[in-house]
Structure 1
């Protein structure tokens, strides 16, 4: 995985004073191996372990899927939309200056990329995906109806935001987002870089996210 290297702590910019930021999130707890395995097994209980399966990517999975795909197709899910709804205390921020990452929240629709994984040998890739997406259990893995650009309708595995966890942001003001984009940095780089890469990838795939682009114009 090629990620922007971290700046030394002394070079991290100070966040502007902004009511509501940083949020009070409490202590973070990582899921242990047993909890991750149980979550994966529960989600995949409907899979026969051999058939190909689909994954819907709407954020960094678009430009960094981290696994081989037998087929990659533009796609859309309905009933959920993409937004910066998840506080990130490790990957794109710190406990002191949390960053933001994208999540699916209820309402609307969302374009993204659907990846078909071959059933044979998929197990290790799914385990790696769970370690990447589910370290704190902030998402709810779900099988969503997904419409591919070529007209096929499939069910695809996606990670939906849980609204019952402290890391769910709800609707944030532009002032808070501006503060985050100006200073939040984690082990994989800045929130700003993450959002810009996603915006660029969506444009290159021919499905620009106008709302996310407008947010960048307002807040950067």
Structure 2
């Protein structure tokens, strides 16, 4: 699948007659809320884990030196915490462009912290997109993140802001926190 998924996403869902829909964020959508929303609530989805397995050619890296950002990978029994936003469907005009680097919109059941549930949408970069990097040792991922920089800034800022946001949510994400620890070691070694 092509890296640019804007048109593909716009053809995936019909929002006819829909006033508002939930959107689940698990990466930069937790802390970089550059879109209007009607409501915001911590939530989780089941069967998925957050992984730094997607290349960023357009925000946190370049085509020549891509950064790494998170996507979701299926894992039975896993729970991924994040932030849910109730948004107008018009918000996807902006978000489809923001998330165009290999991410597709999927429908997902979400559970809010109070135990209530709702159906929502989530952007996932699946392994069949051209920017999917897949698994690598966490220390190697940290080194790639430490050296990557794109139009949205240093890749390290993405990782550090995500880690801080996950702590604020009370989430334990061993993958993110291990890469953060390796990144801090890389930065200390280079200083």
Superposed pair shares fold, TM > 0.5:
yes
User: Which whole-Å deviations, capped at 9, do the CAs of 1:138-173 have from their partners, x for residues lacking one?
Assistant: 122100111111111111100112111231111112
1:129 aligns with 2:99: no
- Aligned counterpart for 1:109 among listed residues 79, 83, 108: 79
Q: Name 2:46's counterpart in structure 1.
A: 78
Q: Judging changes above 3 Å, is the alpha-carbon distance between structure 1 residues 206 and 175 closer, same or farther for their aligned structure 2 residues?
A: closer
The runs of 5 or more residues in structure 1 that have no matched partner are 1-28
User: Which whole-Å deviations, capped at 9, do the CAs of 1:72-99 have from their partners, x for residues lacking one?
Assistant: 1111101111110111122111222211
Q: Name 2:27's counterpart in structure 1.
A: 59
Q: How many residues align?
A: 181
Counterpart contact for 1:199–1:208, Cα < 8 Å: no
Q: Name 2:117's counterpart in structure 1.
A: 153
1:43 aligns with 2:7: no
Pairing 1:168-207 to 2, within 5 Å after superposition: 168-207=132-171
1:30, distance to aligned residue in structure 2 (A):
6.2
Q: Name 1:216's counterpart in structure 2.
A: 180
SS in 1 for 2:13: helix
Counterpart contact for 1:55–1:116, Cα < 8 Å: yes
Q: Distance in 2 between matches of 1:211 and 1:178?
A: 11
TM-score by length of 2: 0.86
Q: Distance in 2 between matches of 1:211 and 1:39?
A: 28
SS in 1 for 2:145: helix
Q: Higher Cα Rg: structure 1 or 2?
A: 1
Q: Name 1:4's counterpart in structure 2.
A: none
Q: Which structure carries more strand by proportion?
A: 2
1:38, distance to aligned residue in structure 2 (A):
5.0
Q: Name 1:95's counterpart in structure 2.
A: 63
TM-score by length of 1: 0.75
